Structure formats: structure tokens, C-alpha cells
Amino acid sequence: MAKVETVVLHKVMAGRTLETLSFDNTYARLPQAFYARVNPTPFSTVPYLIHANPVAADLIDLDPEQLTRPEFAALFGGSALAPGMEPLAMLYSGHQFGVYVPQLGDGRAILLGETKNDRGDRWDLHLKGAGLTPFSRDGDGRAVLRSTIREYLCCAAMQGLGIPTTQALCLVGSDDKVYREQVETGAMLVRMAPSHVRFGTFEVFYYRKQHEQLRTLADYVIDQHFSHLRDVADKYARFFADVVERTAKLIAQWQAIGWAHGVMNTDNMSILGLTLDYGPYGFMDDYDAGFICNHSDHNGRYAFNQQPYIGLWNLSCLAQALLPLAEKEALKAGLEAYQPLFDQEYQKRMRAKFGLVEAQPEDNELIRDFMGLLQGSHADYTIVFRELGTFSTEENATNDTMREHFLNRERFDEWAARYRDRLRSEGSRDDERRDRVDRVNPKYVLRNYLAQTAIEKAQTKDFSEIDRLFTLLHDPFSDQPGMESYALPPPNWGKHLAVSCSS
């Protein structure tokens, strides 16, 4: 097996290079109980760069020219370590499909270290698919090309949509064989986030009755990421209230855009309110409130319409883990704020999707009835909302383009008349509203069939579709010449693709 070398690279240009990236690992300063120190296991074959993200590179002030250097693929493909990196696998536990699992942890990912940009922002660099760790259980510690492409592209999609997410710096491939349902090639992905601490990181110390470790973790997270609470008397309860707010707003954004996570276990919930751990996710094609994107979710626990409730359920698990640190009533008050926060954020975003500026009591019913029309017709969620921008408030307008999406045209006509009256009541102008609506209703989303097309091409070492989708998804609201086909409904083979946790 190849050995990971600590290398000092030769500086080749001015500015922030691979050599001048300053690495640290504040998580490694925590007690040993929080992690296991372990180096990445290099591929047995030479790693090669599949794609690199200049937007993420900019977050750590890395010059884009560095992304094409051979040393870049070595450093972020598990073959080399830079000075200051202290690789470790993070410990956590979690509730998986509602059942508590006492120990999980990074089974195929390794926290390389942190780097700070010139603005003072810290970013964790987390290498996924980096090989065995003490928390791998029965796994091999590897990731496959298929799953890393899906995560890489969805990070770009969420970033383009403005939804809080982990970032993906790069995708590194290999010719190593990895065994899943079939033989596939291995790949590694560098995930970036200010922190990779999860709800389950708190749970493991609570259930082990290691309350001092729990306090150490909470103090660390507050000091690093909630610094406004450092010297507050009830800082733990207020920290929890902040997490509740971030989580409620995050899930409201998922619901508004029509995106399902698929595996909302507590170990997949970010303490910072970021979208974390892209497995069997799915953007909605035909609208179905009960959409299940994970074919392993036989009971629909993580169906699309269950996500708001599961967010609350997961927060209740976090609240329980914080009981040794905060008053029960204060934590309960934090939980009780979740639903109003979610409702407020969701309603705000849905009003924006409909082009409504003022909030009116009848808006909820108007929106709910439209969603019922979508459900009854299995109309395409993204396309129909995009076409809302074309809606005319002229008296004799039939809005035929939208009307064609609905099976019950009479019911649509009734709804359209109410919508027209509602728009007129606030003096909405069609041309101005279209510009506003098009800025919140994307033309392009990462449909499963688009990701699958990129995967199949990449398996022949044609990475052009990854690059094309990466560029497209960073600007999903604009009309992009020559890309109209990417805004069409999926072909028949692309509907209902089976996606599992191994994806």
C-alpha cells in the first residue's frame, strides 16, 4: 500500500499557492475522545483531477491556477499532506431512521485541517473516500465516482440557488476498483465547511454520560461559530435557539425549491444549518408531496412532505443531548419556536415564488390550492413555477402556456381568476413581476437524470458533462443560450431513477 508523505512543495508563483495555504486544526486541540487520528489511505493507482471548483477555491484565497498543478491532485487525492494538516476522523453518533446508533463517526472521511482566508474565515477541509478509519465499521472507507459526482454537482446546485450548503473544492478520480452493488472506480471529494460538527456529535457524549466532554464541545462550537454568545449567561439555551432558527430556515428553503434530502438522520444534520451529506437526494420532477427520493426508505420517513416534521424531531434529539447544560424549559421554548420560524420563512419564500409583495390572509389558501392542482396533474414543479413569470393579469388572458400543464383546466381557470385578482389588488405589473419571479424560480435544477448522464460519461473518462452542469448550476435563474434542453422535463428513462444511500 502506498504511503502518505508529508511534502513541502516548491513555490511556483506569487500569491496564495498550495505552499502558502496556512493549515491548522483547532478540532485536534480538543480531547482525544472527540476523534481518532488517522491519515488518508492513498489510491494504489495515480490519482487524477476530474474537476475543481474555482468558487470554493476563492473562499480559501487559492489562486485558480493552482487547481491544474499535479501537486493539487496529490494533496487533495490522499497522496500527500501539507504542513499544518493534522488528519483525524471525527466521532459522533446519531438517530438513523429514528433508531439511536451509539457510535458512528467518519467512516470514509477524514478532516485534513482548517485554513483561514484573508477575511478571517476558517474552512474545514474534509476528504471523503479517504480510506478506512476506526469508525468504518464494515465499510471499506472508500467512495465511488458515482456518489462523489452527485455530491460535487449538488453542492454547486445549492450554492447557485443560495441555499446554505457545504462546498466541494474538487473531485479526484482513480482507477482503483471499489465494490458496491457492482464494481466501480474509486474517487475522493474535498468537502469544505466552517464546521462539520453534527447533532450526533453532541448526542454521543450525552448518551455516554460524558457531560464534561459535552460542555467542552458546546464551548468549542460557540467560541468558533457563535461568538456573540461567548459571555452570555444562558449561552447554551441561546445557542440551541440559534440552531433551531437556522434549521427551520434551511428546511423551508428545501421545501420551497422542491428538494428532498433523503436521509435526515441526526448525524446528517449540521449544527450550522448547512445542507450536509448528499446521498439519495432528489429535486422534484413531477410534483408529489409524498415524494421519496431514497429507495431504501421503505416507510417514507424522509419523504418530501415529512422533512419539516423530521427537522423538529431531530432538534428534539439535540435538545435532549443539551439537557445537562441548559434548563429544560429554555430548551423547550427553543423547540416551540421552530414551527413559527419555519412557517414564516416558507410563506415568505412561496409568496416570492408567486410574485406577491404584500402578505394577505388569503395567500395561504391560494398557494395551497395551487399545490393541489400540481399534485392532481403531476405537473413539473420547476417548469410550472418558472412559467408563473409569464402569467398575464389582462382581463381576457387565458394563460394557455401554464394551463396546458393541468389536467383539470376548469379548476385551473378558477384558480387563475383568483390569482389575477390577488395580483391586481397590490397593483402588480406583469413585466416587473416576471423579472422578480425569475430571480427566485430557477430555470435549471440538478435533476437526477442530468446527474446520471454526467456519471455515465465520466465512467468513460469523459468529464465534459460535469463541467457543463457545474457552469449551468452556478447560474440557475438566467436563460443560458444553447442550454434550453436542460430545462425540459426528464425523458421517460430519467423519471423515478432508483437512488440509495450508497449513491
Cβ atoms 132, 488 nearer than 8 A: no
Question: How many CA within 13 A on the CB side of residue 378?
Answer: 5
- Give dist(CA 153, CA 50) in Å, integer: 12
CA angle (98 as vertex; 96, 100 as ends), nearest 5: 65
| 18-32 burial: b if 16+ Cβ within 10 Å, else e | beebebebebbebee
- Give dist(CA 205, CA 140) in Å, integer: 26
Cβ atoms 146, 451 nearer than 8 A: no
Q: Which three cell numbers stand for residue 209?
A: 454520560
For residue 278, give the amino acid letter.
Y
Q: Where are the alpha helices (DSSP H) in 43-107?
A: 54-59, 70-75
- Give dist(CA 278, CA 263) in Å, integer: 9
Cβ atoms 268, 277 nearer than 8 A: yes
Active-site option among 267, 285, 297, 438: 267
- Give dist(CA 260, CA 305) in Å, integer: 9
For residue 323, give the amino acid letter.
L
Element (H, E) at 343: helix 338-353
Element (H, E) at 190: strand 183-193
Burial of 468 (0-12, 13-18, 19+ CB in 10 A): middle
Cβ atoms 176, 186 nearer than 8 A: yes
Is 118 catalytic? The answer is no
Place of cell 494504489: 44
- Give dist(CA 451, CA 116) in Å, integer: 32
DSSP track, 5-18: EE--PPP-SSSS-T
DSSP track, 348-387: HHHHHHTT--S--TTHHHHHHHHHHHHHHHT-BHHHHHHH
- Give dist(CA 402, CA 407) in Å, integer: 11
Cβ atoms 115, 21 nearer than 8 A: yes
Q: Which residues lie closer than 8 Å to 367 by C-beta, 6 or more apart?
A: 347, 350, 351, 354
Cβ atoms 448, 497 nearer than 8 A: yes
CA angle (36 as vertex; 313, 184 as ends), nearest 5: 75
Active site residues: 267
